[in-house]
């Protein structure tokens, strides 16, 4: 729960929001985000929620922009507020609201040299080494990595059965030879039990949190002398780009990453958005040529 006191004039409406969120069994992080962003707005508006109008929402979004809040965070703010006012309070304050277009930034790509430096730094700890290797060599998302159990590995077939938090992203991934070596080293140290997590958490039956893992990877990157901010997604994205540089097709990359749509995979490329299909295809081909020049090992 958030530690900021809710204004007396909004306690009743805010309690309704808490009740709805608890009924939906959101993750703790999601629950906190929805409550935090709605409370921040109510403190800004300084009026009972029932008296909020569209202009108040617009002023708040402009306030966030001036604070240089990222486009993605603004979008989450809007979604949080829409849920509160439309679904909890049954108000139509968003009827005339024009949602700002989402801005997309092409993710950072590490060079092969930077990846080697990071993995070498991580190799001092079998656990850290495997965390980074699963993101890079297997292209797994952070949520997929922290939920991995030994029973998902088939060492004879050299595959990982990926059970994603999103069912449509479930897939089977072939293990790279380098990943197999790192896994075997880790296995020797900790042993295996099919029903247990690879990366157990503090309490029995739990796994590491994504926040702890991301902090670990960020620290490793600093120790490796990498100036850019690095997350597990950076490693996943870098692997995809490196594979494209080696000649893999976009469809191969789509399957590797577990994307439902090829358009999602194409969005990883440094190309302008909202182009006509024919122009877009030319931009994609140009981007692929540039990737091969820049990242081919």
- Edge-to-edge order in the sheet of strand 153-154: 153-154, 159-162, 171-174
Give Cα 119 to chain centroid, integer Å: 21
The residue among 32, 36, 42, 31 whose CA lies nearest residue 7 is 42
Where in the chain are the domains? 8-89, 112-295
Residues 6 or more apart whose Cβ sits within 8 Å of residue 37: 76, 77, 80, 81
d(CA 116, CA 23): 46
Q: Summarize pLDDT for 1-51 with one digit per residue, the tens.
A: 566 788 899 999 999 999 998 888 777 888 889 999 999 999 999 999 999
Pair 243, 295: CB distance under 8 Å: no
Band (106; pLDDT cuts 50, 70, 90)? low
pLDDT at residue 1, rounded to an integer: 59
Q: Is the pLDDT of residue 104 over 60?
A: no
Segment 45-74 mean pLDDT: 91
Domain 8-89: CATH class, spelled out: mainly alpha
Q: Is the pLDDT of residue 209 over 70?
A: yes
Average pLDDT, the chain: 88
pLDDT at residue 180, rounded to an integer: 94
pLDDT at residue 274, rounded to an integer: 66
Segment 212-238 mean pLDDT: 93
Selected residue with higher pLDDT from 191 and 139: 139
Give the DSSP H/E element, type plus range, for residue 176. Answer: none
Residues 6 or more apart whose Cβ sits within 8 Å of residue 295: 109, 111, 112, 241, 242, 244, 245
Q: Under CATH, what is the fold of the domain 112-295? A: hpI Integrase; Chain A (1.10.443)
pTM: 0.68
pLDDT at residue 183, rounded to an integer: 93
d(CA 235, CA 272): 23
Assigned token pair, 176 = 């790279």
CA angle in degrees (0–180, nearest 5) for 25-26-30: 160
Assigned token pair, 79 = 């979604």
Q: Is the pLDDT of residue 268 over 90?
A: no
């Amino acid at each position: 729960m958030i530690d900021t006191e809710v204004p007396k004039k909004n306690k009743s409406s805010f309690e309704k929001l808490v009740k709805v969120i608890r009924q939906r069994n959101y993750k703790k992080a999601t629950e906190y985000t929805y409550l935090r962003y709605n409370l921040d707005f109510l403190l800004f508006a300084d009026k009972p929620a029932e008296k909020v109008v569209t202009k108040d929402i617009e002023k708040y979004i402009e306030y966030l922009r001036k604070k240089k809040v990222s486009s993605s965070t603004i979008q989450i703010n809007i979604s949080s507020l829409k849920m509160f006012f439309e679904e909890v309070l049954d108000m139509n304050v968003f009827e005339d609201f024009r949602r700002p277009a989402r801005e997309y930034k092409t993710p950072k790509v590490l060079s092969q040299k930077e990846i080697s430096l990071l993995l070498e730094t991580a190799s001092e700890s079998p656990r850290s080494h495997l965390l980074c290797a699963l993101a890079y060599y297997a292209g797994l998302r952070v949520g997929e990595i922290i939920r991995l159990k030994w029973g998902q590995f088939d060492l004879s077939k050299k595959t990982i059965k990926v059970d994603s938090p999103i069912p449509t992203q479930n897939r089977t991934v072939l293990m790279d030879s380098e990943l197999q070596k790192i896994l075997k080293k880790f296995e020797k140290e900790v042993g295996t039990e099919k029903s247990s997590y690879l990366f157990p958490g503090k309490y029995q039956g739990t796994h590491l949190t994504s926040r702890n893992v991301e902090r670990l990877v960020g620290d490793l990157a600093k120790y490796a002398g990498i100036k850019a901010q690095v997350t597990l997604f950076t490693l996943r994205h870098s692997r995809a780009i490196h594979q494209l540089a080696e000649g893999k097709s976009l469809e191969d990359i789509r399957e590797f990453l577990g994307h439902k749509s090829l358009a999602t995979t194409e969005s990883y490329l440094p190309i302008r958005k909202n182009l006509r299909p024919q122009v877009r295809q030319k931009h994609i081909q140009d981007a692929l040529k540039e990737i091969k020049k820049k990242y081919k090992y």
